[in-house]
Amino acid sequence: MSNRESWKMQHERLHVKHRGHEAMHAEMVLILIATLVVAQIVLVQWKQRHGRSYNMVTLLQMWVVPLYFTIKLYWWRFLSTWGMFSVITSYVIFRATRKPLSCRTPRMVYKWFLLIYKLSYAVGVIGYLAIMFTMFGFNVFFRIKAEDSMDVGVIMLFYGLYYGVMGRDFAEICSDYMASTIGYYNIGGMPSRNLSDDICAVCGQKIFVDIDEEGIIEDTYQLSCNHIFHEFCIRGWCIVGKKQTCPYCNEKVDLKKMMNNPYP
């Protein structure tokens, strides 16, 4: 028996052995598709009915699961950035959940997540450009291996997306806690205490200070109710979801027209 005849016989035996498996494979694919559809419906319903618990669970998974793989696979570079992000963000969340809320906390929360937004956006864009750079073959002109430039692009794109999403979700957690305590008006809509015209109602600091005077020096915003605030203070007010009310008098104001996105 020649090698070709022997190979044909083995191939026929293999077909006989696995006869009927095609139907089983098709059934497994249908079960997988049905499971994915049902799981997607369950996730959508969970998010719509219990959005807070859904966000907390998904955020916890995004925060903890990469830690397991980084330790297992010895990805020390990601572990170092993850550690720094976690330590600083934990402190920011700690400050945002204190009651009574410190007058400087909204500014700190806004500045930290603004920094995360800018860094993740820049890193993600650079990673995307590096991938395009490699796909169009520009790496050849700089004598860079395609594998190296593609690895750099994919890693930076992942870093940008990961920390961008994490920063956004953690900012929402901070905003939920701060929104219940920030501001000077009570349930009845009247200010709980009186402030002078030169005081920012968010941070409690002077609006305009002299060069040699201690205080916050930055741009200001005046709302339609004529109350004036520091720029970062009113942007911090925006990220906690207070987009239509004045922090001091609770009057309806159109902050969305002033700034569609609190992150400039």
- The pLDDT of residue 187 is 46
Name the β-bridge partners of 229.
Answer: 221
Report the range of poorest mean pLDDT among 54-58, 240-244, 246-250, 253-257.
Answer: 240-244
pTM to 2 decimals? Answer: 0.64
List CB contacts of 66: < 8 A, sequence separation 6 or more: 78, 82, 162
Q: How confident is the model at residue 59 (pLDDT cuts 50, 70, 90)?
A: confident
Give the model's pLDDT for residue 16: 63
